[in-house]
Amino acid sequence: MGFLDWVKRRHKTQMAEPEDEPAPARYFTQRGSAITIQSSSEWVSDGVGVYEIRHHIGKSSEGYHGGLETSRQGGESSWQWTNKRPTAPSAEKAACRMGVRWMCEMGPEFDRVAGIQQEHSQSRSDAKISKKETSRSWDR
């Protein structure tokens, strides 16, 4: 019996797994209506490598909602949703505005992190130069 025959036979003998129940809604409007995600953007980095954000469009019984998901890279994420909007494009614009507002609010934090990264890079560069100079003095 070949490998392909074994796979086919094994597939036939396995019992069908029960279908999973739909996951309960995780996001709700202020009025308690469940929000279902319709689309999501790709993750975008903040520019200094600390946070990532992405936009969502959600739909509830009330209308469309723009969503913003923020996350420390590799960590937990937090979500914000707009009030209802009449169309998906208007919800998308609202989500983008939330992202811009969040980036502006976080600007001082990004500047602080960029400064720390710059200092660290400079000190590493200085250490390399010092090491080269020290090794050259021993070669003489």
Establish if 15 belongs to a structural domain. Answer: no
- Per the model's pLDDT, the better-predicted residue between 6 and 132 turns out to be 132
Residue 19 placed within a domain:
no
Q: What residue type is 68 in one-letter code?
A: L
In a domain, 132, yes or no: no
Mean pLDDT for the stretch of residues 8-24: 49
Q: Round to whole Å and give the CA distance between 1 and 46.
A: 56
Instruction: Decide if 55 is inside a domain.
Output: yes
Of the candidates 24, 22, 90, the residue with the CA atom closest to the CA atom of residue 58:
90
Q: ∠40-36-103 over CA atoms, to 5°?
A: 40
94 contacts 81 by C-beta, under 8 angstroms: no
Q: Would the pLDDT of 6 be above 70?
A: no
C-alpha count within 13 angstroms, C-beta hemisphere, residue 47: 12
**Residue 110 · residue 48 · CB < 8 Å:** yes
Is a pLDDT exceeding 70 seen at residue 70? yes
| Cα distance between residue 121 and residue 119, in whole Å | 5
Q: What is the residue range of 49's domain? A: 24-125
pLDDT tens string 84-130: 999 999 999 999 999 999 888 888 887 887 788 788 777 666 666 66
Residue 13, pLDDT score? 42
pLDDT(47) > 80: no
pLDDT at 79 over 90: yes
CA–CA dist 122, 8 (Å, integer): 61
Of 34, 97, 99, whose CA–CA distance to 70 is shortest?
A: 99
pLDDT of res. 65: 96
Q: What 3-state DSSP class applies to 23?
A: coil
The structural domain count of the chain equals 1
Please indicate, yes or no, if residue 46 is contained in any of the structural domains.
yes
| pLDDT interval class at 136 (50, 70, 90) | low
Query: How far is C-alpha 122 from the chain's CA centre?
Result: 30
